[in-house]
Structure 1
């Protein structure tokens, strides 16, 4: 599964997680999340997902949760705003909003494909994260 937060995965219970430096195809969480069989739900504001990847595009299936309230986010690549490497669902500063459950394109590398560290930070609780895909 590639999950590397130091606290380890606790299924179906709210748990506070912290970021670990992931290797390629590994990921970690920060904040309080409940991880289920099909999704992870952010239980408190200010949580993030970090993933180390090597692909042109990074997509993530996200939803606003049962409340349906839009959830703002900010994407960084290697700790910086994505600029020209942004995906269709984020601006050059990495800002976007989860408004419905769907696939969000968050990174589209404009130059050569190389290993990168992606982080998405959510500023409100309730967001649901389902699955990463790459192109």
Structure 2
């Protein structure tokens, strides 16, 4: 299933506008960017069997697009790791989508080493062919997509920073009933 073209344009256009202002994409309670796009297309998964939207329904999901040699990703990963550990028992599932920027980042053995070195214990989709990236209409590293228990993308954040506000989004989504 591919992302609705209108959603990709909406998120992509919003990303450009908000990133230039250094802001995240906030919605009012109950608003949505649309249904969670597909995670199908990853060539393999680390730390997990393959995941998809139906398997994640009923969970709050943080999808983190990253790549191991991105300095901004390296700065955001400790926060993502912390959220994954602290909120897992409340229903948060973090899914890392490793989409390489450079040719040398395609090596899965090196990626496995980096995942271990960075202490990433949550599922990581290996997106060497950018299929998940394209399905989501993503354009940035790091990019955080927050999905509610009903499978709706409710918040986006591009780039590093604003970690307190991102954590508040996680808490608010966890507090919502399915």
- Asked if Structure 1 and Structure 2 have the same fold, meaning a TM-score greater than 0.5 normalized by the shorter chain, the answer is no
Higher helix share: 2
Query: TM-score when scaled to structure 1?
Result: 0.29
Higher strand share: 1
Larger radius of gyration: 2
Query: TM-score when scaled to structure 2?
Result: 0.25
